[in-house]
Chain A
Amino acid sequence: QSALTQPASVSGSPGQSITISCTGTSSDVGSYNLVSWYQQHPGKAPKLMIYEVSKRPSGASNRFSGSKSGDTASLTISGLQAEDEADYYCCSYAGSSTFVVFGGGTKLTVL
């Protein structure tokens, strides 16, 4: 069982927006603005899409945005495209003992 809880799957049609949630606790997501999101296509290494809750690295599409409220972080993808179909993982710093935790992953299907 993963430390962070994500929905197993979400889906949307091209052009729509979807949001993936990532629920942690006051020991991780709720305490630190150190949440990142990764996109992983089958057979490929994950790619950083969002870091520090809402920052986008160079190379990540501006259709991707992140936010956080309390113990839950969210990834929103707007203007859904076929190429967005992938697995998405959230990740959070969890303090000096546990250090880093991941969510179980969410499979995004573009209908």
Chain B
Amino acid sequence: QVQLQESGPGLVMPSQTLSLTCTVSGGSISSATYSWSWIRQPAGKGLEWIGRIYASGSTNYNPSLKSRVTISVDTSKNQFSLKLSSVTAADTAVYYCTRGCVNCDYWGQGTLVTVSS
């Protein structure tokens, strides 16, 4: 059974960089079949796709966030990571890592990141 777990700071200062890591267990992140995505959800609001990566390192990003987002992968640790720069209060949300892109069949439990001074 594939499991994903997000980790990282729960509080980030405005203008700083949000950094999260997703650790995958029960399956290899190196499989060429799947991509790995980050999705976020502000409290009481809908889902927003941030971007995805393949084990090869190939990425695609949400155009509205592209200038601030970097997603990377570490196949040796079976992990992939998210960096979101120049954060503001509008970036406060629960961040999920998932397997897949449009068809996200496995999700992490989500981690709340609050942007505040």
A residues apposed to B, CB below 8 Å: 2, 34-36, 38, 45-48, 51-52, 57, 89, 91-93, 96-105
10 residue pairs, one from A and one from B, having the closest CB atoms:
A45-B107, A100-B49, A51-B103, A105-B46, A102-B47, A104-B46, A93-B102, A34-B102, A48-B105, A99-B60
Q: Are B46 and A36 in contact (CB under 8 A)?
A: no
**Contacting B47 at CB < 8 Å: which of A34, A89, A96?**
A89
Contact (Cβ within 8 A) B109 A45: yes
> Among A35, A93, A100, A103, which residue has its beta carbon within 8 angstroms of that of B46?
A103
B interface list, Cβ under 8 A from A: 37, 46-49, 52, 60-63, 96, 100-105, 107-110
Q: How far is A26 from B60 in the complex, measured between Cα atoms in Å?
A: 21
A sample of 5 inter-chain contacts (CB < 8 A) reads: A34-B102, A91-B49, A93-B102, A102-B46, A102-B47
Main secondary structure of the interface of B (DSSP, over half): loop
- Cα A89 to Cα B46 with chains together (Å): 8
Q: Are A102 and B110 in contact (CB under 8 A)?
A: no
Contacting residues, chain A, for B108 (C-beta < 8 A): 45
- Contact between B103 and A102 (Cβ–Cβ < 8 Å)? no
A2–B62 alpha-carbon span in the complex (Å): 13
- Contact (Cβ within 8 A) A105 B47: yes
Docked Cα-Cα span, A96 to B63, in Å, equals 10
Q: By the criterion CB–CB under 8 Å, are A99 and B47 in contact?
A: no
B102 / chain A contacts, CB cutoff of 8 Å: 34-36, 51, 91-93, 100
Considering the complex, give the chain A residue whose CB is closest to the CB of B64.
A98
Return B35 CB to nearest CB of chain A, in Å: 11
Known: A89-B46, A99-B52, A99-B60. 10 other contacts (CB 8 A): A36-B104, A45-B107, A47-B107, A89-B47, A99-B62, A99-B63, A100-B37, A100-B49, A102-B46, A105-B46
